[in-house]
Structure 1
Amino acid sequence: MNQLSTRNFGAYARKMLIDGCVIKVDYTAQKKLAAAVSRIATNINHVCRRINSTGHFHEDDVAELKARQAEIWELLKVRQRNEL
């Protein structure tokens, strides 16, 4: 129970009875990727609103979107390398 950082003996006992073992998974990489995707989605929404209201876009917006996309690709590449 200490390795899983839980104090609920009932949940721990059920998990052990059903599976026979408990696997603790680190979701740090997935959380970073989800945060990066969320940031670019927010930026895309802002750019789209600006384009819809003004009728034109700024080169700085495009550069920022490309930078965010590169960040996501880098996180995906790191994740893929770690899995292989």
Structure 2
Amino acid sequence: MTKKRRRSVHLHVMVTPEEQALIADRMAEAGISNMGAYMRKMALNGYVLHVDLSDIWELVALQRRCANNLNQVAVHANTYGIYPSEITALQKDYAALWEPLSELLKKLSAVVSL
């Protein structure tokens, strides 16, 4: 018994060796290694958008560490006591860092989902 495929229609396209090399170059530029996925994306949308988000994910990781640090300070403050104004200042700094990053991530997600 054969497995039922999600895509059951087979398309066949002939290209020259030069065209095949150019397609491979463009696939590499887009960060796609699956020929079928690349051809489908190009045929359906006419473009492939490849966005390097490594810097953004690094910022997100820094934000998470910042939040963790803030939490540790809060625990320490509740256990041993600390000036409430220091906690408030840390919370404001954290909020000031997170708001622009959050807006940037929303904009990027809108671009990537096009």
- State whether TM-score is above 0.5: yes
Provide, for residues 10-35 of structure 1, a one-character-per-residue CA deviation record: whole Å limited to 9, x for no partner.
21122112210112112133223212
* 1:19 to 2:19 alignment: no
User: d(CA) in 2 for partners of 1:17 and 1:45?
Assistant: 49
- Per the alignment, residue 57 of structure 1 pairs with 82
Q: TM-score, normalised by structure 1?
A: 0.59
Same amino acid, percent of matched pairs: 33
Unmatched tracts of structure 1, length 5 or more? none
Matched length: 74
Q: Which has the higher contact order (CA 8 A, sep 6+)?
A: 1
C-alpha root-mean-square deviation of aligned residues, in Å? 3.4
Query: Any runs of at least 4 consecutive aligned residues in structure 1 with deviations exceeding 4 A, and if so which?
Result: none
Q: TM-score, normalised by structure 2?
A: 0.46
- Per the alignment, residue 3 of structure 2 pairs with none
SS in 2 for 1:3: helix
